[in-house]
Structure formats: C-alpha cells, structure tokens
Amino acid sequence: MDEARLIEAGTPAFRRATLALFAAGFSTFAVLYGVQPLLPVFADNFHVSPAESSLALSLPCATLAIALLVVSPLSEVFGRKPVMTASLFASALLTIAAVLMPDWHGFLILRALTGLAASGLPAVAMAYLSEEMHGRAIGLSMGLLIGGNALGGMVGRLLAGVIADHASWRWGLGTIGVLALLAAVAFQFALPASQRFRAHRMRWREVPGTFTHHFSDAGLPWLFLAPFLLMGGFVCVYNYIGFRLLDPPYSLSQTAIGLIFVVYLAGTASSALTGHVASVLGRRKVLWLAILLGLVGIALTMAESLILIILGIVVVTVSFFGSHSVASSWVGRRASSDRAQASAIYLCLYYLGSSLLGTAGGWFFLHYGWSGVAGFFASLYVAALLVALRLTRLPPLPLS
C-alpha cells in the first residue's frame, strides 16, 4: 500500500475525518431511534395499538438492514463520500417531511423510506475508514464513529421525549430532522475526499459474488456472526428492563426509566477507548475480554438493589459498544477487497440480531420474567465468547 496517503492519528486530516463521521453517526442514529420514546404518543394521537406504534421504529430498522446489501455496491461505483452525503441529506429531509404527514400510514411510509436513506452511511463509513486510515489509526477512528452512533441514539431519544413533553412530538422529531440536516452540511465540508478509492464499473450479475467470497475467509464469517449475537442480547436488556423497573418494588416513572439511556455515554467513551486499546494490544486479545465483561454486567442486573441493576446496565453497555468497535474495525482490516460489501453483511446481521433476537427476548420475559431475559442474554454472549476465542487462532495481518 502507498502508506504516504494513509491518514495517521493526530493529523488535521484525522481530526476532520473523525469529526465528520462522528457527526454523521450521531445524525443517523438520532433520526432512527429518536422515535422510541414517542411510541406511546403515536398510539394515542393516531389511535393505533402499542404494537402498531412500534412500526415507527421497526420499519426503518428493517429497511435499513435490507438496503445495506444493495447500497454498498453503489458506493463502489459512485464513491464513498457522495453516497454518504446523499444518505445524510435524504434521511434528514425525510424526517422533516414525516413530521408534516397528517396520517399514520403516510408517516410509516416516510419512516420506512428514512431507513432506506440512512443505509448509505453505516456500511460505507466503515469501508471509508478501512481504506483511508492507517492501521494504527483505524481502531480509534472506528471507535469514534461508533461513539457518535451511541451519542446520537441517546440524545435523539432524550431530545424528542423532552420536547414532546413541553410542545408536541412533531416539534421533537422535527428538531432532530433539522439537526440532522445541519450535520449533513458539516459532513459535506469536513470529510476529506477519498484518496485511495478507485471507482469501477459494476456488473450487477457479479454483485452476489462480491458478497459471497467473504465467506471463504478464515475469520470474516465468525466476525459476521458476532454482531448478530451481541446486538441481539444488548437490545433485549434495553427492551425489557423498563418493564421490570416499572413494577414494585422499584415503581419508577417513565421519565426515570427514560433517563437510563444516559448510560449510552458510557458506550460512547468505551467504543473509542476499546478501539484504541485494541489497536495497541491486538483485537484478538481485547474482543473476548469485552464480551466477558457483558456476562459480568448481566449478572449484576439479577440483584435486587436498584444501584446494582443500573451498574449492571452500564457494564453491559460498555461491553457491547467496546466489542462492537473491535469487531467492526476487524472486518474492515480482514476484507482485502469489496470492503463496503463486507461491512454491509456485518451490519445487516447486526440489525437482524436487534430485530429477531430482541423480539425473541420478549418470549423469555413473558414466561420467566427478568431471569429469563438474563439467561437468554447469557446464552447469546457465551456463544459470542466462543466466537471470539475462535478468532484468537487467526494469524495476525500485516500492519498497514
């Protein structure tokens, strides 16, 4: 590789790139998850059931997961930065348009389209970092990207909920849309243009091969499995801990439970820190330790003490974002070609884990309460731990 053109940590180009991608991750996840605290409001305002109101969140996540597999090849033709920029502008404008939609079904259509638009950022951003960053900088830069995701998910939820309490849900979600539009403008001006990317003509009948050849690699299939297990367990914790804390002996208010999302700040910090540590000590040494930490966290949530439960959620959050940071940057390093497609497979399974396993956790909660959710989480993380230990046997790649 021409290392002179790779972006090193600490340089002005590194600061511009990480700031732009931090803002982009913040924007994308605020747009996606900002509706979560508004689901009861949707049920009331649009006269729909709670299950139907959840489509405001599940639809864009589902369309995003599927679209990742289609959008990533487009970036091989049109370039990384143009696709990401279009994604940010489109998702922001669709969010603003959804606020103006008077009927429920029209609102859902726009939310589904928002998921399609948002798909242009996650997989392509990973490919951009894998191509443009030096091996010593990629862990930290990927961690900062994921940190922006975590912060956007948290602030989007809190901002929409607080504004909806004092004005309306339309003002809350509209504010997120405007902030996302400003982030798109900042991204366009701040992100350095790709130096190592070379566009090539896409023969669409060859596209399936650009995905399937990654499964012949010794490590990538295991790295694709990891986010399915990890995200599935993590979402289960946040989906059902609120039900436990609403009931006696805790009897917390909805506002208090909503403030639990503040612990996403721990995820923001841990993703960047773990990514940096992995760059120094090696990913194969750090990944399994980060996953093991999640098992410690879920054990803490089994306590009766509210303080220990909250501490357990913090530990689970640190574990998830740290392990996700390591695994996602590892995918970019192992994929020697068609990096956007490799990232798309990783993130597709990430979101499918959220959807499928997150929903499956509800069966365990219904039949066994919180102990059922904790047991389900533990089984997923033990499986992920075995995957991580399997990955320790991979020979190291050259640093570049």
Whichever domain contains 83, its CATH number is 1.20.1250.20
Buried b (16+ CB within 10 A) or exposed e, 359-390: eebbebbeeeebebbbebbbebbebbbebbee
Whether the pLDDT of residue 180 is over 90: the answer is yes
Mean pLDDT of 59-70: 83
Mean pLDDT of 72-88: 78
Spatial separation of the C-alpha atoms in residues 124 and 88, rounded to whole Å: 12
- What confidence score (pLDDT) does residue 228 get? 93
Q: Model confidence over 324-340: pLDDT tens digits?
A: 888 877 786 776 676 66
Whether the pLDDT of residue 9 is over 70: the answer is no
Whether the pLDDT of residue 50 is over 60: the answer is no
- What confidence score (pLDDT) does residue 260 get? 76
Domain co-membership, 111 together with 225 = no
- Owning domain of residue 11: 1-191
Buried b (16+ CB within 10 A) or exposed e, 49-72: eeeebbbbbbbbbbbbbebbbebb
Mean per-residue pLDDT over the chain, rounded: 80
pTM: predicted TM-score of the whole model, two decimal places: 0.72
Domain co-membership, 42 together with 180 = yes
- What confidence score (pLDDT) does residue 238 get? 79
Domain co-membership, 164 together with 27 = yes
In contact, 314 and 297? CB cutoff 8 Å: yes
Examine residue 211 and state whether it is found in any structural domain, yes or no: no
- What confidence score (pLDDT) does residue 336 get? 65
- What confidence score (pLDDT) does residue 1 get? 43
Examine residue 208 and state whether it is found in any structural domain, yes or no: no
Domain co-membership, 268 together with 172 = no
- What confidence score (pLDDT) does residue 338 get? 67
Q: Model confidence over 182-231: pLDDT tens digits?
A: 999 988 888 877 666 565 666 656 666 666 777 677 678 888 999 999 99
- What confidence score (pLDDT) does residue 207 get? 63
Q: Which residue has the tokens 């049109």?
A: 78
Structural domains of the chain, count: 2
Mean pLDDT of 160-186: 87
Cα angle 227-310-268, degrees, rounded to a multiple of 5: 45
- What confidence score (pLDDT) does residue 217 get? 76
The residue among 118 and 278 whose pLDDT is bigger is 118
Per-residue pLDDT band for 4 (boundaries 50, 70, 90) equals very low
Domain co-membership, 321 together with 355 = yes
Domain co-membership, 78 together with 121 = yes
Amino acid code (one letter) for 184: A
Q: In a 3-state reduction of DSSP, which class is residue 133? A: strand
Mean pLDDT of 344-354: 83
The pLDDT > 70 percentage for the chain reads: 79
- What confidence score (pLDDT) does residue 206 get? 60
Domain co-membership, 154 together with 261 = no
Whether the pLDDT of residue 38 is over 80: the answer is no
Amino acid code (one letter) for 58: S
Q: Which residue has the tokens 């091989």?
A: 76
Residues facing residue 133 across a β-bridge: 7
The residue among 6 and 367 whose pLDDT is bigger is 367
Examine residue 206 and state whether it is found in any structural domain, yes or no: no
Whether the pLDDT of residue 282 is over 70: the answer is no
Whether the pLDDT of residue 292 is over 80: the answer is yes
Examine residue 201 and state whether it is found in any structural domain, yes or no: no
Domain co-membership, 103 together with 177 = yes
Domain co-membership, 175 together with 324 = no
- What confidence score (pLDDT) does residue 343 get? 77
